[in-house]
A and B are shown apart, each in its own frame.
Chain A
């Protein structure tokens, strides 16, 4: 790890304060460093705080205890340097595919001709040429997610935050989207922080997997998972399967603990 990593998370706590009911400690002394252009997965059972950590990095939630530094500067709010992709796409339903992607570019103040061209480039990059004037309600799940990814990539963030982006897709589409993501990532490499609860997905996509404990979330272990991602057959290789097994055992204990907590909280699952 480079001495000054791009993202430095240092002993961050997060207290969730619901309107009714008691406060909950979602994250407990979480520390993590992520280097430039690394692909890191946050893996853990439901409720472990992995999405919360992502939102803190993104600046959507305030960091109250501990610090998060991006290139040495504290995070104070959301910004186009950290693009986010959500599980349920979060597309503006009243805008077309083109409109959704243009939005960020408009906010950046990019001149019209340039925005239009860049939008079309990204539409082609994610394979949605021909659908630019469709509304989200007319698209399939996979297409919506590709639009969401294009929208975020278009503003050229240094860091890509992904919150279980393929969780809402069926198994077949998920596999295709994983390969798509890697293809795009190899063309325009960025730092990626990828939240998931799917062990195989984490091991396949990421360079390192940070396994989180059940709530309150801590980083339990970090495992190196650099594999040759160009080849999907790697998923069947002995080394890969063993790695998945190793990590699955780490997660399993936490998943059981998470089940045992009587929690009816309905917040966006951390």
Chain B
């Protein structure tokens, strides 16, 4: 079977589920308010796009997630690498990391609201704080895995100590760092939706809550599925991009 055929076969169960969904609601097996039919949901989705609600809220959400994530990647990777490079930094910072590791980051939602209110700021701060952890840990473990003999080889070829940080430690850390960022990516979506469901004035989470409160369940389902799909798509796109960057690994 060719490649497209294989892909279709692989995702066929999802298609079957979609068909089953439509069938179940069409035949009135479940109350139509709890489970609107797939076709109703699709129609509601199109309406939401048309009147701009989905796009406006979507962009607001994506902006928050992107900003928080970008900040956490920038700071987290630098921090993680320096923790591995200089022992004093490690001794100082890693107990802090160990403390925050078991904390459910969602517990920080009320605090960020206290500090920055209901708007973008609190969400960005929350995502930044939450995503710092996997990025830092990935950068740290990745940098630690860089081999002494590689650094020595670079040094004997004329690289200064600082230069080896860029030429050897950073590329060595890449696989684990990119993995940590992948975790952070998923986490950013989770924190985004959680915080917007609980306290927001715009965004996907807000829209879901708003539509639900108004009994507009078709549209609510539409947004839920949109967010879920975006999370999935973001992960897949990320994998596609990073696979190329890691092409040098064992083939």
Which residues on A are within 8 Å of B, measured CB to CB? 55, 58-60, 77-80, 82-84, 86, 88, 90, 92-95, 103-104, 107-108, 135-138, 151-152, 155, 157, 268
Contact = CB atoms under 8 A, between A and B. Distances in A.
Contact of B158 (A94, A107, A136, A138): A107
B244 to A, nearest CB: 12
Contacts of A82: 156
Given A58-B152, A137-B249, A137-B251, A92 B157 contact: no
- Among the interface residues A55, A77, A107, which one has the most CB atoms of the partner chain B within 10 A? A107
Nearest to A157: B156
B147 interface: yes
Contacts of A135: 247-248, 251
A88 B152 CA distance: 13
Interface residues of B, number: 22
B201 interface: no
Contact of B153 (A86, A137, A157, A268): A86
B186 interface: no
B147 A103 contact: no
A60 B152 contact: yes
Interface of B: 147-150, 152-159, 163, 167-168, 171, 174, 247-251
Contact of B157 (A80, A93, A95, A268): A80
B168 A92 contact: yes
Contact of A58 (B148, B156, B249): B156
A86 B153 CA distance: 9
A103 B153 CA distance: 10
B156 A103 contact: no
> How would you classify the secondary structure of chain A's contact residues: helix, strand, loop or mixed?
loop
Contacts of B251: 135, 137-138
A137 B251 CA distance: 7
Nearest to A105: B157
A101 to B, nearest CB: 10
Contacts of B156: 58-60, 78-80, 82-84, 152, 157
Given A78-B156, A80-B157, A103-B157, 14 more contacts: A60-B152, A77-B155, A78-B155, A79-B158, A83-B156, A84-B156, A86-B149, A86-B153, A88-B149, A90-B147, A92-B168, A103-B154, A107-B157, A157-B156
